Amino acid sequence: MDFEFTKQQQDVYDAVGALGKDKFAKRAREYDVRAETPLENMKDFFDAGLMGMTISEDMGGMGSGAMGTDPLLYLLAVEQTARYCLSTSHCIHIHCHGAHLVDQVGTPEQRERILGGVMSRGDMLNATASEPGRTARGLYSLVTEAARVDGGYVVNGKKNYTTLGDAVAYNILFAGIKGVPMPDGHIGLLFPKGVKGLTIEEGSWNPMGMRASYSPTLLLDNCMIGDENVLGTPGFMPRDRWQARFHLSFAAQYLGGAQGVFDYLAEYIPKRGTAGDSYAQLRMGEIRIGIESARWLIYRAAALWQRKEIAEAEMFSMLAKHRAIENAVIVMDKAAQIAGSSAFMADSPLALKFRDLRIQTLHENIDKSAATLGKYHLGQSYDVTARL
Ligand SMILES: Cc1cc2nc3c(=O)[nH]c(=O)nc-3n(C[C@H](O)[C@H](O)[C@H](O)COP(=O)(O)OP(=O)(O)OC[C@H]3O[C@@H](n4cnc5c(N)ncnc54)[C@H](O)[C@@H]3O)c2cc1C
């Protein structure tokens, strides 16, 4: 077993930590107020040479992502960003996943055209399957419909929570092929910026937290997508359980978010004059233990992906994510006890961290993650992509 970072991992950890501290943290409040994509942060990320982290080395990327050569590398960047601005870390997470999808399932022409733009211009990508009412219908039961026509698909429907939806070069959106049952009818399509028939629903993003991960609703009205913009073969997402390949970078966000709360307390408590209080000391120790317990599960799960032990990696990633969510929620409760109400004025950094972390830990129903693990150990059929 090796618990040390490689030189490249350490370099990324330090570089993103410095960016977060010097830049992202300072801009966090402003972007929160405006509920806008933190474009300056994304530009800093590109300038630091990190936009292609989940793109393979043959395209000039760093080869990270669940299916890459170093799955941990981009998770470290997500974790470190989350420490200073959770919204920015979600933007980086979703861009990294969009880029990894194109890298892994795109055609040579798509990789050249789309990933070339990421590497040379800092183009952004995303990936959205969410749509209103999906949870009740089931993960792959999409109402947004792609009807086959000569040369491509005509798409109608509505996608919500499209993080970076206004900023990407291509929105990667998932739909159901008209007349083809799921999962075979599940299709990924690349919607180029400015494509006719795609509009943003006005006023569709005004949440309490994660405001700067601008994620509006997109309306699709007879939107024509040519065959050159079909991503992978229909059904690849459910068939290859791609959703499970994204568990860990959610976990990395929860880890970084909890660490950000800890950092704040380590500065705030002594200034407040309560560092000598035994309960403050106890809570700080408990928070530290929780953060480290989540951290090493995430890093362990990344090692399983690297070894291509896919079934183990999927399951262990669910486990790590569950612990990271649960820990983040516990950390907020323990932190609040020792910070006190004065730390929660509406415009305080701690208030923003709490609003973001509470909303961001709602991507999942953690009880369902735990029950999935239980099913596995009881010899029942299970689905590692069961989320809500
Ligand atoms: C900041 C942010 C950014 C996001 N970005 C993206 C993105 O880029 N791409 C993307 O695809 N998605 C994105 N999402 C969506 C996210 O992944 C979830 O799909 C979405 O949050 C689910 O909707 P909801 O939170 O309203 O939960 P709901 O769907 O309303 O579920 C709430 C609870 O009700 C339970 N529940 C709901 N229906 C049933 C039922 N029929 N039976 C039993 N229990 C039920 C669920 O298990 C859950 O516990 C984003 C979400 C957030 C908060």
**DSSP labels for 312-347?**
HHHHHHHHHHHHHHHHHHHHHHHHHHHH-GGGG-TT
**Spatial contact of 183 and 138, defined as CB atoms under 8 Å apart:** no
Domains identified in the chain and CATH numbers: 7-121 (1.10.540.10), 134-235 (2.40.110.10), 241-377 (1.20.140.10)
Question: Max Cα separation, the chain?
Answer: 73
pLDDT at 135: 85
Q: Which helix (H) or strand (E) holds 285?
A: helix 278-306
Check: CB of residue 110 under 8 Å from CB of residue 118: no
Q: In this structure, which residue's CA is closest to atom 35 in ligand 1?
A: 388
> Cα separation of 204 and 190, whole Å?
22
Long-range contacts formed by 268-271: CB under 8 A, 24+ apart: 268/339, 268/343, 268/350, 269/338, 269/339
**pTM listed for this prediction:** 0.97
Single-letter code of the amino acid located at 20: G
Q: Where are the beta strands (DSSP E) in the chain?
A: 145-149, 152-159, 170-177, 186-192, 198-200, 218-226, 230-231
Q: CA 144 from chain center: how many Å?
A: 22
- C-alpha 100 to ligand 1 mean position (Å): 23
Helix (H, G, I), strand (E, B) or coil at 273: coil
CA dihedral (31, 32, 36, 38) positive or negative: positive
The pLDDT assigned to 341 comes to 96
Atom of ligand 1 at shortest range from CA of 135: 29
| pLDDT recorded at residue 327 | 98
Element (H, E) at 12: helix 7-19
The residue ranges of the chain whose pLDDT is under 70 are 388
Cα-Cα end-to-end distance for the chain: 34
Q: Which residue has its alpha carbon closest to ligand 1 atom 4?
A: 161
How many angstroms does the Cα of residue 364 sit away from the middle of ligand 1?
Answer: 7
- Report the pocket of ligand 1 as residue ranges, CB < 6 Å: 90, 94, 126, 128-130, 135-136, 161-163, 210, 213, 215, 359-360, 362-363, 365, 388
Helix, strand, or coil (residue 147) = strand
The confidence score (pLDDT) of residue 388 equals 64
What pLDDT, on the 0 to 100 scale, is given for residue 136?
A: 84
Residue 2: per-residue pLDDT:
84
Q: Which amino acid is at 43?
A: K
d(CA 159, CA 161): 7
Atom of ligand 1 nearest to the CA of 126: 8
Alpha carbon nearest to ligand 1 atom 19, residue: 130
Q: How far is the CA of 7 from the centre of ligand 1 (A)?
A: 37
- Report the distance separating Cα 233 and Cα 224, nearest Å: 18
Residue whose Cα lies nearest atom 20 of ligand 1: it is 363
Name the pairing type of β-strands 218-226 and 198-200.
antiparallel
Backbone dihedral angles phi then psi of residue 298, each to the nearest 5 degrees:
-65, -45
- Compute the distance from residue 358 Cα to the ligand 1 centre, in Å: 13
Residue corresponding to tokens 């395209």: 59
